[in-house]
Structures are given as structure tokens and as C-alpha cells.
């Protein structure tokens, strides 16, 4: 899958195999939300993000309408990605919206702001993937925080 936001000149690539893995991980926790970390790398010109992997949290709290993950217990996995070739880094978050659409809630936008304002986070444009699904539909909503605004990839 290749998506682009013409207005700001950014594109995103993610393999269907990864997206299916995320969807299945989310569905395994139905009816609660579930999610994790997105890992990947940027093109040399920083215009294209390649999302390649996920790290699933070891500790989290979830309900039908919320998901909050912890970084405890996944430090080794992050280190392995950071030292690999190509060097992959944390690029954002993903989570599900069971029986709902992939539209960011107020809580989702607040979470992105928390990431941006965290001194330990070194990414200026975090990505948010929301997977909305029901028994008959599946929809992936990719968003990026760019210059203090949330944009949707088309």
C-alpha cells in the first residue's frame, strides 16, 4: 500500500502482510481496543516513510473505547530495530476501533500531542494508524502530525 498527502508532499508505504498482521492482532482482542508501536525508516529525502514492523506491548490497559500501552518490557525489541540494517526507528502508534470507523477521537489526538511533547521522542511527525473494523468491514486510517496539524493519508 502506498499513500500520499499531496498538500504537504509526504508519502507512506506499508506492506499488506504487516497490515493484515495488525488487523489480526487487533481482532484477537475483540471487543476491546488493541494496538502497539510502529517501526520503520524514512527515505533519504525524508519525504517517504516505510512502515515495516510493529512492536506489541507487554503491558497495557484496554476497554471497548480505549487503549493505553506501556513501554515496559519492550526495550530490547526497540534496541534490536535501532541497531539493525536498515536502521529502523519508532515512527508512531497504531490501535483498533472495534465496531467503529478509523477516525481519530479527542483521546487519539491528545495521545499524539503527548508523543510530540515527550522529550524522549525524537520524531517530529509521528504517524497514527487506526484500524476500524466490524464483522463485515475493515478500514485503515493513516494520519501524520505535520506542522501542528493532523493530516490523513489518501
Q: How confident is the model at residue 91 (pLDDT cuts 50, 70, 90)?
A: very high
What contacts 107, CB < 8 A, 6 or more positions away? 66
- The whole-model pTM stands at 0.93
Tell which residue, 94, 108, 109, has the closest CA to residue 140.
94
Specify the length of the chain in residues.
154
The alpha carbons of the chain give a radius of gyration, in whole angstroms, of 15
Q: pLDDT of 105-153, one tens digit each?
A: 999 999 888 888 887 777 878 999 999 999 899 999 999 999 889 999 9
Q: Is residue 126 within 8 Å of 91, Cβ to Cβ?
A: yes
Q: Using DSSP, how many helices (H) and how many strands (E) does the chain show?
A: 3, 10
The Cα–Cα gap between 12 and 2 comes to 6
Tell which residue, 134, 132, 67, 32, has the closest CA to residue 143.
132
The Cα–Cα gap between 53 and 137 comes to 23
Residue scoring higher pLDDT (25 or 1): 25
- pLDDT beyond 90 at 99: yes
Q: pLDDT of 35-70, one tens digit each?
A: 999 999 999 898 999 999 999 999 999 999 999 999
| CATH entry, 2-152, from 3.90.550.10, 3.30.420.10, 3.50.50.60, 3.40.140.10 | 3.40.140.10
Q: How confident is the model at residue 98 (pLDDT cuts 50, 70, 90)?
A: very high
The Cα–Cα gap between 121 and 75 comes to 14
Looking at the DSSP assignment, which residues form a beta bridge with residue 54? 38
Q: In the chain, helix, strand, coil percent, each to 5?
A: 20, 40, 40
Beta-carbon neighbour count of residue 132 at 10 Å?
A: 18
Q: How confident is the model at residue 20 (pLDDT cuts 50, 70, 90)?
A: very high
Domain boundaries, the chain: 2-152
What is the reported pLDDT for 83? 86
Amino acid at each position: 500500500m502506498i499513500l500520499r498527502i499531496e498538500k504537504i508532499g509526504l508519502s507512506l508505504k506499508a506492506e499488506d502482510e504487516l497490515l493484515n498482521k495488525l488487523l489480526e492482532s487487533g481482532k484477537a482482542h475483540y471487543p476491546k481496543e488493541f494496538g502497539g508501536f510502529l517501526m520503520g525508516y524514512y527515505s533519504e529525502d525524508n519525504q517517504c516513510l516505510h512502515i515495516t514492523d510493529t512492536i506489541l506491548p507487554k503491558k497495557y490497559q484496554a476497554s471497548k473505547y480505549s487503549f493505553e500501552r506501556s513501554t515496559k518490557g519492550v526495550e530490547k525489541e526497540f534496541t534490536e530495530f535501532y541497531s539493525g540494517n536498515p536502521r529502523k526507528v519508532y515512527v508512531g502508534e497504531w490501535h483498533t476501533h472495534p465496531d467503529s470507523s478509523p477516525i481519530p477521537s479527542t483521546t487519539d489526538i491528545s495521545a499524539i500531542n503527548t508523543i510530540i511533547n515527550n522529550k524522549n521522542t525524537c520524531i517530529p511527525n509521528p504517524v497514527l494508524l487506526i484500524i476500524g473494523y466490524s464483522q463485515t468491514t475493515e478500514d485503515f486510517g493513516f494520519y501524520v502530525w505535520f506542522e501542528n496539524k493532523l493530516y490523513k493519508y489518501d
